[in-house]
């Protein structure tokens, strides 16, 4: 009986731990999305200004962010979201390479192709009753 009680308590703590971890993980994900938004906006301004070095730096930051986003979805085994993140990561990587080479027009085209936001948002984001956005699996 004592052993059964101990096992029950361990299961409860395990479930609570996983729940807290998932909530922290989703909070981190939201921070990445805010960083993506801000960095993407900054990247657009640098493209308009013709600032190749800044375009490359912002694109490289987006590569890092989408690598994290990919890992988030990979840990949940959500194939389409993983593909959206990989496509964005690879596209921004290409944009960084082009900007580093001073080929801003082509970098701009790569940025446009890399922006896969709407597809993923449509598939994996929903508005909650309070008006906030929630992750949908």
pLDDT score of 22 more than 80:
no
pLDDT attached to residue 6: 61
Per the structure, the count of domains in the chain is: 1
Least confident of 21-35, 59-73, 120-134: 21-35
Distance CA 73, CA 67 (A): 10
Report the C-alpha dihedral over residues 117, 119, 124, 126, rounded to 10 degrees.
Answer: 90
**Domain range spanning residue 83?**
25-135
pLDDT score of 124 more than 50:
yes
User: Contact 107/95 with Cβ under 8 angstroms?
Assistant: yes
- Domain CATH for 124: 1.20.120
The overall pTM is greater than 0.85: no
């Amino acid at each position: 009986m004592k052993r059964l009680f101990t096992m029950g308590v361990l299961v409860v703590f395990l479930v609570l731990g996983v729940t807290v971890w998932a909530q922290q993980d989703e909070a981190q994900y939201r921070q990445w999305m805010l960083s993506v938004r801000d960095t993407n906006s900054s990247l657009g301004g640098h493209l308009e200004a013709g600032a190749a070095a800044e375009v490359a730096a912002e694109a490289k930051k987006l590569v890092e962010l989408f690598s994290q986003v990919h890992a988030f979805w990979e840990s949940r085994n959500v194939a389409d979201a993983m593909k959206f993140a990989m496509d964005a990561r690879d596209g921004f990587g290409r944009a960084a390479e082009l900007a580093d080479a001073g080929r801003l027009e082509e970098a701009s085209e790569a940025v446009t192709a890399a922006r896969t936001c709407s597809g993923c948002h449509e598939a994996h984001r929903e508005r909650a009753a309070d008006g906030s956005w929630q992750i949908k699996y």
